Amino acid sequence: MSTTSDQGAGRVAVITGASSGIGEATARALAASGHRLALLARRGDRIRALADEVGNGAIAIEADVTDRDSISKAAARVKAELGGTDILVNNAGIMLLAPFTADGHDDHRRMIEANLLGAMTVTEVFLDQLRDGSGDLVNLSSVAGRTARPGNAVYAATKWGLNGWSEALRQELQPDVRVIVIEPGAVATELTDHITYPDAKHAAEQMYKQLAITADDIAEVIAFAVTRPQRMSLNEILVRPTAQA
């Protein structure tokens, strides 16, 4: 799998959740193939350091995908400073695994607002820029968007929802915008750090320790997908660790 700087040269990529994990790795992968970057996340210190590292005019913008006003301001800045958006990577999200009970109400809402409504909000705001640039919309889903298991009911619901929304958009936006869904299995990121239910946290950490692939593995797939010729589209890509059930 390879990409070249020529294929990405000059294209502007906006990445949400760029302060760590797959978002951070994708920033490095796209920068290496010549893309200019707008890095969005709540942790401003991290994305500012990353923007300095990747260079090529990268900008860091503190923004929260659940706060439409912050996303609108980010889009205006991308337009003013980078000329618009060619690639939008909806990466921000959280995974709060636990049995489904009324006690989890707040966590349920947090996942829906970040994973599903957040991606929709960011896309709504940036959609005109993507259309202007014959753009690529990359949505980070999950293997949980295909296979639900006990303990991940709401997380899986957000990812199944993301997949259905993405497929409808694929048909609505073609041929002007390519819609690409990435469905990772276990990836070594901060995702498990935020789980508060002890049994679910322990089980997830043990599984990830045994078989998780790296964020760089997923970033390489994303970089490959967005550097394909415009005549073709990799609409849905499932990437599991080889040992994952």
Neighbours of 199 (CB within 10 A): 12
Ramachandran bin of 10, using left for φ above 0, alpha for ψ from -120 to 50, beta for the remaining angles: left
- Six token digits for residue 51: 């923007």
| Separation CA 25–CA 43 (nearest Å) | 16
Give the type of residue at 169: L
Whether 208 is catalytic is no
**Alpha helix positions (H), 34-184:** 44-54, 68-82, 105-111, 118-132, 153-173
Judge whether 194 and 185 are in contact, CB under 8 Å: no
Token pair for 109: 């809402």
Q: Which of 126, 155, 160, 197 is catalytic?
A: 155
The pair of three-digit structure tokens given for residue 55, joined into one six-digit string: 């260079």
Q: In whole angstroms, what separates CA 42 from the centre of its chain? A: 14
Other beta carbons less than 10 A from residue 72's beta carbon: 15
Residue numbers annotated as active site: 155
